[in-house]
Amino acid sequence: MTAHAELQWGRTHIAYSVTRSARKKTLAIRVEPDGSVHIVAPPAVADERIASLVRKKAAWIVERQRRVADVPPKPTPREFVSGETFLYLGRQHRLRVRAGADPGVKLVAGYLEATVPRGVADEARRALVRSLLEDWYRAHAVERLPERLAEWSAKLGVQPKALLIREPQKRWGSCDAAGNIRLNWRIIQAPRKLVDYVVAHELAHLAHDDHGRAFWALLGRVMPDYEERREALRKAGGGMVW
Ligand SMILES: [Zn+2]
C-alpha cells in the first residue's frame, strides 16, 4: 500500500511516497532517477516518524534531486577515427579524418572533417582529433548559446549575471548564487529543444535554487513540455558524453 505525503523544508517542498511493508524492519529512503522520493517503512511506524526522517534527510534529498535532474550519463567510448558519428544540434555528422597542413575541424558537406598533420602516430592522432573536436564544439557553443540564453531569460523574466561556457563536472549546466549560468559546451550536440531545456532549467534556478514545486511550476509556465524534453535529454545524453 502506497500513500503520498509532503512537507515543507525551508523554501523547498518535498513530496514523497510511503510504502508499508511487513518485511521491512527499518525505514528506507530512496531518490529515484526522476527525482521522486520513496520511503519503505515497517507497518507500525507512525507517519510523524517518517516525516521527521524526511526532514532530517532533507538536505541530502534536495542535493540528490538536484544532481539527478542536471547530470549527464556516463561517457560512451569513442575512437576518433573516420566513420564515427558525432552530433551537432541534433544532427548526426560522420567524422572524416584527413592529413593536411592546417589542423582543425570543419563542417564540410555534412561531414565533420578533422585535419591533422601527416605522420602522427595512431594514438597521438586520436588524441589530437578529440581535442580539435572539443575546440570546434566549444567555439560553436560560444557562438550559439548566448542567443538561447537571451531568449529564455526574456521569457522567464530573469537576468543572469554572465554566461560561462565550461565543462562542469557531471553537469549540463549550473547556476551559482551570484547569478552566473554555466553551460556545458557538450549540450550544443543536442537538438535545439533540448539545448533550450537546459538553458531554461538553469535560468529558472535564478528564481528558485532548488527543484521544488515552485521551480517546476515556473519552468512549466514558459515550457509546458519540459518533462518530455527532460526525458529526451536523458535518452540522448549518452551520445553526447565522450
Ligand atoms: Zn537544476
CATH value at residue 188: 3.30.2010.10
Q: Which of 102-106, 118-122, 227-231 has the lowest mean pLDDT?
A: 227-231
Report CA(110)–ligand 1 centroid distance (Å).
Answer: 34
**In terms of domains, do 20 and 94 share one?**
no
In this prediction, residue 70 carries a pLDDT of: 65
d(CA 105, CA 121): 19
In this prediction, residue 4 carries a pLDDT of: 87
Q: How confident is the model at residue 83 (pLDDT cuts 50, 70, 90)?
A: very high
**In terms of domains, do 158 and 233 share one?**
yes
Report CA(53)–ligand 1 centroid distance (Å).
Answer: 24
Q: Domain range spanning residue 186? A: 85-240
Residues with CB under 5 A from ligand 1 (ion): 69-70
Q: How many domains does the chain have?
A: 2
Report CA(57)–ligand 1 centroid distance (Å).
Answer: 19
pLDDT digits (tens, 9 = 90+) for 55-78: 999 988 888 877 665 666 667 789
Q: What is the mean pLDDT of residues 94-107?
A: 96
Q: What is the mean pLDDT of residues 75-101?
A: 93
d(CA 169, CA 191): 22
CA atoms within 13 A on the CB side of 143: 7
**Whether residue 169 has pLDDT greater than 70:** no
- Cβ atoms of 236 and 194 within 8 Å: the answer is yes
CB burial class (10 A; 0-12, 13-18, 19+) of residue 149?
A: buried
Report CA(239)–ligand 1 centroid distance (Å).
Answer: 21
Q: What is the mean pLDDT of residues 170-182?
A: 89
DSSP 187: G
DSSP 186: G
The residue with greater pLDDT, 234 or 38, is: 38
Q: How confident is the model at residue 12 (pLDDT cuts 50, 70, 90)?
A: confident
pTM of the shown model = 0.72
The answer as to whether 76 is a domain residue is: no
The answer as to whether 179 is a domain residue is: yes
**In terms of domains, do 39 and 90 share one?**
no
The answer as to whether 191 is a domain residue is: yes
**In terms of domains, do 103 and 174 share one?**
yes
In this prediction, residue 237 carries a pLDDT of: 80
**In terms of domains, do 95 and 185 share one?**
yes
Report CA(28)–ligand 1 centroid distance (Å).
Answer: 25
d(CA 236, CA 18): 32
In this prediction, residue 34 carries a pLDDT of: 67
Report CA(234)–ligand 1 centroid distance (Å).
Answer: 14
Report CA(207)–ligand 1 centroid distance (Å).
Answer: 11
The answer as to whether 16 is a domain residue is: yes
Report CA(138)–ligand 1 centroid distance (Å).
Answer: 22
- Cβ atoms of 99 and 117 within 8 Å: the answer is yes
